[in-house]
Structure 1
Amino acid sequence: MTISRRDVLLGGAGLAAGSLASPFLGSVPASAQVPKFEPEPGASLRLLRWAPFVKGEEDAWIANTKKFTEATGVEVRIDKESWEDIRPKAAVAANVGSGPDIVWVWFDDAQQYPDKLLDVTDLANGLAKTYGGFYPGNEVYAKVKDRFVGVPLATIGNAVVYRDSWVKDAGFSEFPKDTKGLLELGKALKAKGHPMGFTLGHGVGDGNNFTHWVLWSHGGKMVSEEGKVVINSPETVAALRYVAELYKTFIPGTESWLDVNNNRAFIAGDLSVTANGVSIYYAAANDPKLADMAADMKSTNFPVGPVGQPVELHQTTTAGIFKYTKYPKAAQAYLAFMFDAPQYNAWLQGASAYCCQTLKAFASNPVWTSKPIHAAYAKASETLRPNGYAGPLGPQSAAAMADWIVVDMVAEAATGQRTPEEAAKRAQSRAERIYR
């Protein structure tokens, strides 16, 4: 398909006339309402994104960017930083007023400097009306009151990944569906010489996902609906007592892990169970020497705890445009183009289930049913719980996550650095300094 400059400038509304047909989504409805953005003369853009864990995802994004440049003449420079470095790099750019035009931020990072970000409400609303709306969990991260300060880009689903033969060898015909069963499985696997391992260090994705699950699965929460800090609660202490027992089944050293460490340990054959994006499967599947491991890998959603329902954080990423950009129309034209069905569907395909759509219409992408291991990641955007639970998102929730309060609390209790009661009390004090 040839995409003209006119198609790009008209966005979804122009492409709806017929060139936006997609084998995954069908034609975009005639009611498509993505606004027009004509790039400024001589415009060029710089995008800061996180380093990829799935090369096909990056390749698809670069290919789509090349199509945009060919159609508009707008060159787009793409820079990459590690997951841990994106947050401080973006914050510095916001504060000094220079750097990339567009940045991919994590969770509610955009809530820390909303006045530094371009209002993209028209673009986001147009995309929502055209593609069935954003999932609520993704939308809340990108909005301040009624104003979009970013466009929800993707959810990186987090699921439990395990070696099926080892689980069976430990005496379990299927993976446990509750926290009590997970603890019993951990003990059995450790006895067989196949320990589990979940990230307890400052891993933006894996550390936050696991520790928030520990807290929420037992009914704990950072703040109440009114924004009052309530993390020092009986439910939190129960969660911390549980993780202290679960930690005894772990491989040593998980308290220092970042997002890459559990991947490496699992691929090395040192782990039986961890939690990760689907990238961990493809690290094995794409290595001929690890074919047997890949065939033995399965995924499932986190077990349900005493709270009685699934509670999962999942990592979200939002594309924000800084107000200081010289080319706000070009930046919005670029994002509008990348969300058009042919480009966005190609990106989801390239990501191989690593990135979950934020717009509901793209749930029909066949990537979710192409492999059994993808199933646990398919509804990440639909089921995610925002990190500021149970209170509203904003500067306080963003600061609490950036300060690693939940991660540190769970790690301290798990490793015995503090008792569960001491860890919860310290987390309460740290959070109160932010939520005052």
Structure 2
Amino acid sequence: MRKRVSVWLLAFSAVLVMSMVVSAAPTKITFWHIYDGGEVQSWMKDVVRRFNEANPDIIVEDLGVNFWDYWTKIATATAAGIAPDVAMNDLGNVGQRAHADMIIPLDEYMAQSGVTLDEFWPATHSVIIWDGQVYAMPWETDVRVLYYNKAAFREVGLDPESPPQTWDELKEYADLLTSRDSNGRLTRIGFHPNLGNMYWWIFAWQNGATLVDDEGKIELYTPEAVEALEYVKSFLDTYGLRELTSFTSTFGGDAMDPFLIGKVAMVGNNNTFRETILRYAPDMEFGVARLPHNGTPASWSNGFSLEISSQSKNPEAAWRFLSYLMSPEIQAEYAKVNSSLVGSIAGSTDEELMADPSWRVMIDEMGVSRFRPFSLEAPTWYDSSLSPELDAVYQGMKDPDQALRDAQKNYEDEVARWHRTHR
């Protein structure tokens, strides 16, 4: 009997020790991102190391994947049921993954941690919230601003410290800055609304269009939207389609960007374009200004989100790491390392960053920026329904009114097809 009791005690002791070991073992979570080399990857590795050291009960294993391969890899992993616990993704279509239950709502974790929406840029709220719940954190965002060549301004008698503020001024300045050779061929264009990183919907917003109706559906055909497209087309009409096509066909990227080599005097581009200028044209004298508008200041933003997979077995640990990445301190570090705007307002407005006048312009523009409205039924409406119609306008095949009328019908047809297949 005594021997049997001893055996049970030994067995119980072994189980107790094993349970203590198991309970003491750190929780492992995986984190996938798009930084697979260079300074940003080294920085991210260091961030993960610091988190692991400060949180011995959690081990984060990160994986950086080449940007162009990342999206296929994460889609494949998700379909196979082996998605990472925390992942970067496209900030503009969070709703698509939320609707498909691929990611989890974060409201409960935010409340427990004291994290509130007002810590992040208002523009991001429309895309991280789905069906009344927060499904993602805005890791990184961007914004479009106006870059202009100060030397070109002086050349035509414009004040290099007074960039255009309205649509009328933008058109006036563009005409003055456009030059031609003795044969009438373009040698420089003042402004091209389709160069850089500008899109028609920015102009639509600047003219008072919202692009969504009262029910949240995409609304492309409105008087304000048509007028905006007419304004965009007016630049192309001034230059002439054939001549403009010939002139822009020689444009390149990076060091051969048309703005950097003096072929374009003003261009709308995102905040990271500033680093391109400083890298490839360090002696260029340029200015950064808010986008001219027609009564409604507006810009466009997109970016990357951080999300927790619904497949995660350790969502609490995943949230602890995710919230660490979203802290103002880490966000400010990332902004400095990658010259990126970040989702955290406090991180974006770090004192060191705000010492740069160009950065302050971008922060001001971020205050009026918007995201493209998301449509569950037609998540890429801007490519599938809108883009062909805009091209028809630019090629002189349709007028703006007919093109946007057709774009609206294209979108409504997409929505109808979605509902037929999702009953």
TM over 0.5: yes
Q: Name the CA distance, whole Å, in 1 between partners of 2:112 and 2:65.
A: 28
Q: State whether structure 2 residue 231 is matched by structure 1 residue 238.
A: no
Find the aligned partners of 1:95 and 1:121 in 2 and give their Cα distance: 25
Alpha-carbon distance between aligned partners in 1 of 2:89 and 2:53, rounded to the nearest angstrom: 27
Letter matched to residue 322 of structure 2 = L
SS in 1 for 2:331: helix
| Cα offsets for 1:268-311 (capped at 9, x unmatched) | 44332222223222223235xx3211xx1111111111xx1202
| Match for residue 158 of structure 1 among 139, 144, 148 | 144
Cα RMSD for the two superposed structures: 3.7
Counterpart-to-counterpart distance in 1, 2:164 and 2:225 = 22
1:377 and 2:365 are equivalent in the alignment: no
Q: How far, CA to CA, are the matches of 2:227 and 2:322 in structure 1? A: 44
Q: C-alpha displacement at 1:76, in angstroms? A: 1.0
Cα separation, 2, equivalents of 1:328 and 1:121: 13
- Give distance in 2, aligned partners of 1:309 and 1:51: 40
Q: Whose strand fraction is larger, Structure 1's or Structure 2's?
A: 2
Displacement after TM superposition at 1:160 (Å): 1.2
Choose between structure 1 and 2 for higher RCO, CA contacts under 8 A separated by at least 6 residues: 1
- Distance in 2, matches of 1:274 and 1:142, equals 30
TM-score for both structures, normalised by structure 1 = 0.73
State how 1:149-228 maps to structure 2 within 5 Å. Answer: 149-173=135-159, 174-191=162-179, 193-196=187-190, 200=194, 207=197, 209-228=198-217
| Change in 2 beyond 3 A, CA 1:359/1:291 | closer
Give the direction of change, closer, same or farther, for the CA distance of 1:63–1:320 in structure 2 (3 Å limit): same
Residues 103, 320 of structure 1: 8 Å contact kept = yes
The answer to whether the aligner puts 1:292 opposite 2:283 as a matched pair is yes
5+ residue gaps, structure 1? 1-37
* C-alpha deviation, 1:112, in angstroms: 1.0
Question: Structure 1 254/227 Cα, relative in aligned 2: closer, same or farther at 3 Å?
Answer: farther
In the TM superposition, 1:2-401 aligns within 5 A as: 41=26, 43-49=28-34, 60-71=43-54, 72=56, 73-82=59-68, 94-95=78-79, 97-114=81-98, 115-125=101-111, 129=115, 133-173=119-159, 174-191=162-179, 193-196=187-190, 200=194, 207=197, 209-248=198-237, 252=245, 264-287=257-280, 290-293=281-284, 296-305=285-294, 308-352=295-339, 354-356=340-342, 358-388=343-373, 393-396=374-377, 398-401=379-382
Q: Percent identity?
A: 18
For 1:285, give the aligned amino acid: L
- 5+ unaligned residues in a row in structure 2: which ranges? 1-22, 181-186, 417-423
Larger Rg: 2
Match of 1:32 in 2: none
Q: Relative to structure 1, is the Cα distance of residues 400 and 255 closer, same or farther in structure 2, using a 3 angstrom cutoff? A: farther
Instruction: Return closer, same or farther for 1:255/1:112 CA change in 2, 3 Å cut-off.
Output: farther
Contact 2:35-2:41 within 8 A present in 1 as well: no
Q: What is the count of residue pairs matched by the alignment?
A: 377
Distance in 2 (alpha carbons) for counterparts of 1:407 and 1:51: 32
